C-alpha cells in the first residue's frame, strides 16, 4: 500500500468529525483517525493545516509515566547519541549565523540534561537553559551548566537573542500560552530555532495502516507516536502557531533523528516485544540514508524570526 493510499483509506474509514476538538495549531476542526496511541489517546488530524494531535484519553487505557525514565538518561548521555545531536546543532547554528551573524545570548527552553547547553558552551556561546523536570535539571547542573526551573527563570531579567526549542513543543497540549512564556525574553528581531517531529513524514500513514491490518500485532507506530507527544506539527501548522507571537518562519529543513538515538530507541522497544525492533535497529542506518537522499526526514527543523 502506498503512502497516499494508506492515508486516503484512513481518512475515508475514520469515525468522522471530532466535534469540539479544535487544532491546537490553527483552530480548525480535527478529524479522528483510526489509531489510538499506546491504547490511551485518540489521534486526530486537523482539517485545515494537517497537524495531528492527541485528545480524549480512552477510558481504562494505560497511564503515562515520567518522561525522563532511566533509560533516556542513558541514551542521551551516550557518546554516539551526543555526537549525533552535536552535528545537528552545528549545522543549524551555521545556517543561523550565515543569516544573523554571531549570536548573542541563547535560552534553551526544555534543556533536559543539557546536551545542547554543553555544546553551546564549547562553541563559545552565552547560553542558559530551563526545564520543568528537576531530575533533568540536576543532571545538567552537575555538568556545570546554568539552568533554571520556569519559576527561577521568571525572576531573571535578561533579554536573549535566540530561543531554542529542541524537541519540546510537541510535548505541550496547548502551545499558545507555552510560546508566550517561552518567547517572553526574545528581543525584537531575535531568532527561534525549533525542532519537532514532522506530521507529514510519509512513513506515518504506512505504519498506522500496518498496525490496523495486523490487528496491532505489528506495531511500528509505537516508534512514531508517543503519549508524551501531544502534537505532531506540519510546516503550515508551525507557521500558524508562531504567527500570533510575532514570529515568522524563515527556513524549514527536514532532517532525520541521529542514527544512534533511533537504534537505542528500537533496542529499548525490543525488550520483551520480539524481533521487529531489533530488525529496525539494524535497518535504520540504510533507511536514514535513503530519507536524506529523498530530502525527507522525521523531523522539522525551523529557523524563525521575531518580526512583530
β-strands 126-130, 186-197 pairing: unpaired
- HSE on the CB side for 202, CA within 13 Å? 11
What length does the chain have?
A: 308
The answer to whether residues 288 and 179 belong to one domain is yes
Beta pairing class for 52-57 and 231-232 = antiparallel
Flag whether pLDDT at 260 surpasses 70. Answer: no
Q: Which of 214, 232, 250 is the last residue of a domain?
A: 232
DSSP letter for each residue of 138-178: HHHHTTT--EE-HHHHHT----EEEEEEES-GGG-S-HHHH
**Strand 160-166 and strand 105-109: pairing?**
parallel
Residues 251 and 126 in one domain: yes
Q: Which pTM value belongs to this model?
A: 0.84
Q: What is the largest CA-CA distance in the chain?
A: 55
141 and 278 share one domain: yes
Ranking 162-171, 207-216, 265-274, 282-291 by mean pLDDT, the lowest is 265-274
| Same structural domain, 82 and 39 | no
- Is pLDDT at 107 greater than 80 in this prediction? yes
CATH no. for residue 192?
3.40.50.150
d(CA 70, CA 89): 24
In this predicted structure, what is the pLDDT of residue 215?
A: 84
Q: Which of 232, 253, 282 is the last residue of a domain?
A: 232
Whether residue 42 sits in one domain with residue 114: no
> What digits encode the pLDDT tens for the residues 18-64?
455 999 999 999 999 988 887 888 999 999 999 999 987 766 554 44
286 and 270 in a common domain: yes
Q: Where a domain ends, among 186, 207, 232?
A: 232
Range of the domain at 27: 1-64+199-232
> Do both 14 and 153 map to the same domain?
no
Question: How remote is the C-alpha of 152 from its chain's centroid?
Answer: 25
CB neighbourhood size of 290 (10 A):
11
The per-residue pLDDT for 38 is 79
* Same domain flag for 188 and 92: yes
23 and 166 in one domain?
no
191 and 282 share one domain: yes
Measure the CA–CA gap between 105 and 103, rounded to whole angstroms.
7
Question: How many Å apart are CA 53 and CA 83, to the nearest integer?
Answer: 31
For 136-187, how does the pLDDT look when each residue is reduced to its tens digit (9 = 90+)?
A: 999 999 999 999 999 999 998 889 999 999 999 999 999 999 999 999 999 9
Same domain as 81, residue 59: no
What is the domain count for the chain? 2
* 152 and 24 inside one domain: no
Amino acid at each position: 500500500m502506498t503512502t497516499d493510499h494508506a492515508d486516503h483509506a484512513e481518512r475515508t474509514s475514520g469515525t468522522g468529525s471530532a466535534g469540539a476538538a479544535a487544532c491546537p495549531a490553527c483552530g480548525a476542526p480535527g478529524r479522528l483517525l483510526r489509531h489510538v496511541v499506546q491504547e490511551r489517546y485518540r489521534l486526530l488530524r486537523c482539517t485545515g493545516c494537517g497537524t495531528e494531535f492527541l485528545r480524549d484519553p480512552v477510558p481504562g487505557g494505560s497511564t503515562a509515566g515520567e518522561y525522563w525514565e532511566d533509560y533516556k538518561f542513558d541514551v542521551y548521555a551516550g557518546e554516539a547519541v551526543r555526537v549525533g545531536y552535536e552535528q545537528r546543532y552545528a549545522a543549524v547554528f551555521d545556517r543561523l549565523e550565515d543569516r544573523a551573524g554571531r549570536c548573542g545570548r541563547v535560552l534553551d527552553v526544555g534543556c533536559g540534561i543539557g546536551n545542547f547547553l554543553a555544546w553551546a558552551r564549547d562553541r563559545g556561546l552565552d547560553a542558559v537553559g530551563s526545564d520543568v523536570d528537576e531530575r533533568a535539571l540536576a543532571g545538567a547542573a552537575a555538568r556545570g551548566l546554568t539552568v533554571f526551573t520556569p519559576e527561577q527563570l521568571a525572576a531573571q531579567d535578561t533579554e536573549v537573542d535566540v530561543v531554542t526549542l529542541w524537541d519540546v513543543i510537541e510535548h505541550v497540549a496547548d502551545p499558545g500560552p507555552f510560546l508566550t512564556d517561552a518567547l517572553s525574553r526574545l528581543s525584537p528581531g531575535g531568532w527561534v530555532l525549533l525542532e519537532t517531529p514532522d506530521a507529514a513524514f510519509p512513513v506515518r500513514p504506512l505504519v498506522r495502516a500496518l498496525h490496523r491490518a495486523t490487528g496491532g500485532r505489528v506495531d511500528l507506530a509505537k516508534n512514531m507516536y508517543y503519549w508524551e507527544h501531544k502534537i505532531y506539527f506540519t510546516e503550515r501548522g508551525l507557521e500558524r502557531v508562531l504567527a500570533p507571537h510575532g514570529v515568522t518562519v524563515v527556513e524549514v529543513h527536514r532532517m532525520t533523528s541521529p542514527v544512534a538515538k533511533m537504534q537505542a530507541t528500537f533496542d529499548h522497544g525490543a525488550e520483551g516485544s520480539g524481533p521487529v525492533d531489533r530488525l529496525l535497529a539494524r535497518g535504520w542506518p540504510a533507511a536514514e540514508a535513503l530519507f536524506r537522499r529523498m530530502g525527507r526526514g522525521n523531523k522539522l527543523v525551523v529557523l524563525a524570526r521575531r518580526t512583530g
